[in-house]
Amino acid sequence: MEGERELPGTAMQHRLDPDAQGVPGWAVDAVVASLRALAAVPGSDAMRVLPVVSENAAFRTPGDSFTEALLRLVRRRVATAGAALHKALPDLDRRLVAVGERLSAVEPVPDTVVHGDLFGANIHLDSDGKPVAVLDFRFMTTAGDPRFDAGVTASIFDMYGAHAQQITTRLTAELADRLGHDPDVLVVYRAAYAVVTCTLFGSDEHDGHFAWCVRQLRAPDTSRVLGLAR
């Protein structure tokens, strides 16, 4: 049987310094170009019915908006992950109410293709550092709000490095500015993503991804956007 076609270029991740305190300009350029290219592809009905994360059913149903579908997904995931999240976040209920309110208040935009897992390993660059391919569609791929992709990408670009939260904050501001997005919308999408994915790999803070999700929900800018800052 013939194998899959090999994509051109090499993964951006291989060119990044894992100990860097920020994202180099050429990498930001490549991320922005990739997000713009994805946002230029209109969403289709076939994309809308794709399942996401660990689910089997269609993510969206006819007539619903991206944020409505995302909020339903958040609630479904809380039904299975709630106990673990409550243990890590005693004020989880307050945060979930605020996430729902903020998602409901997001002004809709036309659906485009949403990758949902765009970071250095999934962007291939040519020898000049220009993006030539995006791979690994599936995890959260759907038709929806391109701001979701920008918010998720800013937060997962560096998840576990010594300067991860600092990089997330700076990259969120940079992507919002260059793509013309409200940075607060990117932050609320990041919070929703953290709830949705928190227990996909483990259910306590010994699991790196779960601990990362809890940090996103506790982050000062998340608390501010959710109206919970003290």
Q: What is the pLDDT of residue 169?
A: 96
Residue 4 lies in a domain: no
Res. 93 pLDDT band, cuts 50 70 90:
very high
Instruction: Establish if 5 belongs to a structural domain.
Output: no
Nearest to residue 73, comparing CAs of 218, 193, 202? 193
What residues make up the domain containing 22?
10-225
Q: Please give the mean pLDDT across all residues of the chain.
A: 94
pLDDT (mean) for 113-128:
96
What is the pTM (predicted TM-score) of this model? Answer: 0.95
Percent of the chain with pLDDT over 90: 90
Local confidence band at 81 (pLDDT 50, 70, 90 cut-offs): confident
> Residue 50: pLDDT above 70?
yes
**Three-state SS for 213?**
helix
Q: What pLDDT, on the 0 to 100 scale, is given for residue 2?
A: 58
Domain count, the chain: 1
CA pair distance 70, 56, nearest whole angstrom: 15
Token duo for residue 135: 């791979």
Tell me how many degrees the CA angle 220-103-160 measures, rounded to the nearest 5: 40
Please give the pLDDT value at position 229: 75
Q: Is residue 102 part of a domain?
A: yes
Is residue 230, in this structure, part of any structural domain at all?
no
pLDDT, tens digit (0-9, with 9 covering 90-100), for 125-164? 999 999 999 999 999 999 999 999 999 999 999 999 999 9
What confidence score (pLDDT) does residue 6 get?
Answer: 78
Residue 119: inside a domain: yes
Which pLDDT value is given to residue 1?
42
- Provide the pLDDT for residue 230: 58
Residue-wise pLDDT for 2-31, tens only, equals 566 778 899 999 999 999 999 999 999 999
Alpha-carbon dihedral sign for residues 93, 196, 88, 157 = negative
- Helix and strand numbers (H, E) in the chain are 9, 5
In CATH, what number is assigned to the domain containing residue 101?
A: 3.90.1200.10
**Close Cβ partners of 142 (under 8 Å, ≥ 6 residues apart):** 43, 47, 48, 50, 52, 59, 60, 66, 114, 116
Residue 178 scores a pLDDT above 90: yes
Q: Which of 80-84, 153-157, 220-224 shows the lowest per-residue confidence on average (mean pLDDT)? A: 80-84
Residue 39 located in a structural domain: yes
Kindly tell me if the per-residue pLDDT of 221 is higher than 80.
Answer: yes
Residue 51 domain flag? yes
What is the per-residue pLDDT for 150? 98
52: alpha, beta or left? (left if phi > 0; alpha if psi -120 to 50): beta
Give a yes or no: residue 3 inside a domain: no
